[in-house]
A and B are shown apart, each in its own frame.
Chain A
Amino acid sequence: MSGVHVSTTINGDAVEFVCNADEPLLDVLRNRLGMTGAKEGCGTGDCGACSVTINGRLVCSCLVLGAEIQGAKVGTIEGMAKGDQLHPLQKNFISHAALQCGICTPGFLIAAKALLDKNPDPSEEEIRFGLAGNLCRCTGYDKIVRAVQATAKEMRGA
């Protein structure tokens, strides 16, 4: 199978790669670009651990082909902090103990950011449904929701 040549932008950086036509974006990120922040929890779009944004839209990178991001702007967890400044979501996840094993955390952060970018003042219900595409088995979601609520408040007030 001959490869597909892709030029794209990831976290603001110009990136070029060659991938197989049937290769998911998740595999491209993890195996070809060394960006292992997005995780494979299921490979079928059910767990959200592979969440990234494409042109601002939240997607499961296991359901997108590498070839599809030609010319797109992709956002991954690796681009969430600005230099050595953590995003308020990242800070609050740590301080609110919103992670235990941490495997779902990159996916949740990307999803939570996408939620707050669209809706800076979400209700508890809106947060819960907004994050319903991300599975966590450790926390019961309690501290995750609290961390997102605290961040929303902080980002509105700041």
Chain B
Amino acid sequence: MKDTIFGSLDPELMNRVESRRAAVSRTGKMAGALAIASMPVAFGLMAKRAFAQGGLPQGIIDALKFALTLEYLEDTFYTTGVATSGLIPAGDLPIFAQISKHETKHVALLEGVLGANADPKPTFDFTAGGMFDPFNVYATFQALSQGFEDTGVRAYKGQAAALMSDNTILTTALRIHSVEARHASEVRRLRGRKGWITGNEVEIPELQAIYNGEEAANGAATSPTAAEAFDEPLTKAAVQAIVAPFIV
């Protein structure tokens, strides 16, 4: 990692990312198109390798594609929320603007690494077929935000083992993982809850699947505190079931 993260961008990679961006933008699905200049230099070499002979192992590609789906979801959710006039009180806006900024970068980063392997951004329905009204009801926006962040933490954790063959990508994923946890803590506290997950508690029954299994105490005496001390992974299938209602 130490030596590779400062690699410079490969022109061919730039072109491919740019053409992919252009293609995505043409579909009209790209929320807040990013300047190619924002492509993190830190991922130059890593992304270059993705286009090298043979490319990344399929297991890593699959894990990163899965992560990108989640990042698309989060990025779209926050971009929409922040841009919705009257939704987020002025005092809370910097929090969600900061989170939104990070999710946008995560999308750009994963798109860059995946290159042609990246799937197009899905179309999202954050009402989940009419179940929620997050862009009109701030409390619902906050609740879904918490749910998405806590899901993200569990999802990245569940994919870490699949990334072990590539130190740079593993470390990158871990560095996203901890940022998602910071987001989750903040949003939870903003909602008057603890920054950590107690047992499998959630006050919205429709979001229960996000928290199932979090009550594991990992050998410590079974107690709410023991469960708080550890965040649990989710399988890809479990995460896909959680986000499915939000994807058209």
A binds B: no
